[in-house]
Amino acid sequence: MDQSAQLVTAEENIMRSIKIDKVIVHIGVGTSGERLEKARTLLEILTGMKPIEGKAKKTIRDFGIRKREPISVRVTLRGDAAVGFLKKALEAVDFKLRASSFDEYGNFGFGIKEHIQLPDVKYDPEIGIFGMDIIVRLSRPGYRVALRKRKRSKIGSKHRVTKEAAIEFMRNTFNVQIVEDKK
């Protein structure tokens, strides 16, 4: 058999296609109380889902943080909701991502300084202004074998999403411009 016939592209092999597994929207407030409740309300409005709390790992007296005190809120989006929110978030950063935002496994993250940069979001004086982090995990079909509880297995290195493949996926799917980092 000819070697060129053995090379298979993502269009020919559905197992090589890349998809958005999940999008995590995170707002780190740093303190509990009224400001955390406002961040929770904002995330509910933006995503339509109930956020969960992130707790402090250790006590830091200088910042007034105690261990296990809730200091952040986050929401995990999957499926069409994840893709829809990601499009809005990319529009807020003008469809530009830095190359250093991508890790070696194809995941990437970026931040939005003010939530009012998102399209169709108006300023509410009762809530205030919050920044947020958006983390995206990309995967291929078959990744479940590494995450399941029963009969867990490893993903081969050739099946993993690489940094270059993730960058190419974002360019082709969402028309994102990748900005090279300054050294």
Question: CATH no. for residue 119?
Answer: 3.30.1440.10
Mean pLDDT of all residues in 95-109: 94
Q: How confident is the model at residue 183 (pLDDT cuts 50, 70, 90)?
A: low
- Whether residue 3 is predicted with pLDDT greater than 80 in this model: the reply is no
**In a domain? residue 2:** no
CB under 8 Å to 147, separation ≥6 — which residues? Answer: none
In this structure, is residue 103 part of a structural domain? yes
What is the pLDDT averaged over residues 35-58?
93
Q: Looking at residues 7-30, what average pLDDT do you find?
A: 84
Residue 103's pLDDT is 94
Residue 155 falls within a domain, yes or no?
yes
* The pLDDT value given to residue 9: 55
Q: Which of the pair, 112 or 12, is modelled with greater confidence?
A: 112
Domain membership of residue 45 (yes or no) is yes
Residue 169 forms part of a structural domain: yes
Percent of the chain at pLDDT > 90 equals 71
Split into its structural domains, the chain has a count of 1
Domain containing 40: what range?
Answer: 17-179
* pTM of the shown model: 0.86
> Would you say residue 139 lies in a domain?
yes
Average pLDDT over residues 55-82: 91
pLDDT of residue 5: 43
pLDDT band at 2; cut points 50, 70, 90: very low
pLDDT (tens digit per residue) in 115-141: 999 998 999 999 999 999 999 999 999
Instruction: Report residue 171's pLDDT band, with 50, 70 and 90 as the boundaries.
Output: very high
| Mean pLDDT, residues 104-110 | 94
* Domain membership flag for residue 30: yes
User: In the predicted model, what is the mean pLDDT of residues 25-50?
Assistant: 93
Mean confidence (pLDDT) of the chain: 90
- Specify the higher pLDDT residue, 1 or 89: 89
Within-domain flag for 5: no
